[in-house]
Amino acid sequence: MQKFIMASLLVISSAVSFVGAMEESSCIKIKQSSLMAPQSLGSIEVYRDQDGFHVMQNDELYDVKSYNVDSLLRRADKKTLEKFQKVGYLSVKQMSDGEFSLTANTRLVGGGVLGATIGFWAAKVAVYTVAYGTIFIVTLPMGSFANPATSALMVSLAAPIEAASNVAAIGTAVIGGTITGPV
């Protein structure tokens, strides 16, 4: 029984000294607003010091293995990590073997309906202009065969041109909506 009490005191004193060390300048505590974790984990805190990342769960300290930490977070120094918390968050997961993993995620603004609409139509018009303009330029020197050749190419290439314009339009709409943000 005495050995159990001594071991318990050792674990508690280690945790208390670790939390005390966390308050020093070499360590950074990740803000709760920058953490995303399943409710099943309960109340957790994440720290980063010179030894790597640590998760405090139910007053127990767990080291996060470096191979379970996103490479962006692994390479980040204190200043970079503080900046990252303004534009991103850490996703914390606990695997079936009890180990924790950390993933870096960014918060993207979005919802700029006008920017998305402009981006969509600008890309669609650009693809149509390039594709059908190329068909016109290629068939122009054919003389009397220009009209049938232009018609044949337009009919046969209409589906791939439409597909290309949709891909470009959707991609540009997402970028336009993200850049312009909520309206």
Tens of pLDDT, residues 34-46 = 999 999 998 899 9
Tens of pLDDT, residues 51-99 = 999 999 988 999 999 999 999 898 888 888 888 888 889 999 999 999 9
Which DSSP state fits 77? -
> CB count, 10 Å around CB of 113?
14
Q: What is the pTM of this model?
A: 0.50
Answer whether residue 182 shows pLDDT above 70.
no
Half-sphere exposure of 133 (CA within 13 A, CB side): 6
**Which H or E element spans position 150?**
helix 146-180
Which pLDDT band holds residue 3 (cuts at 50, 70, 90)? very low
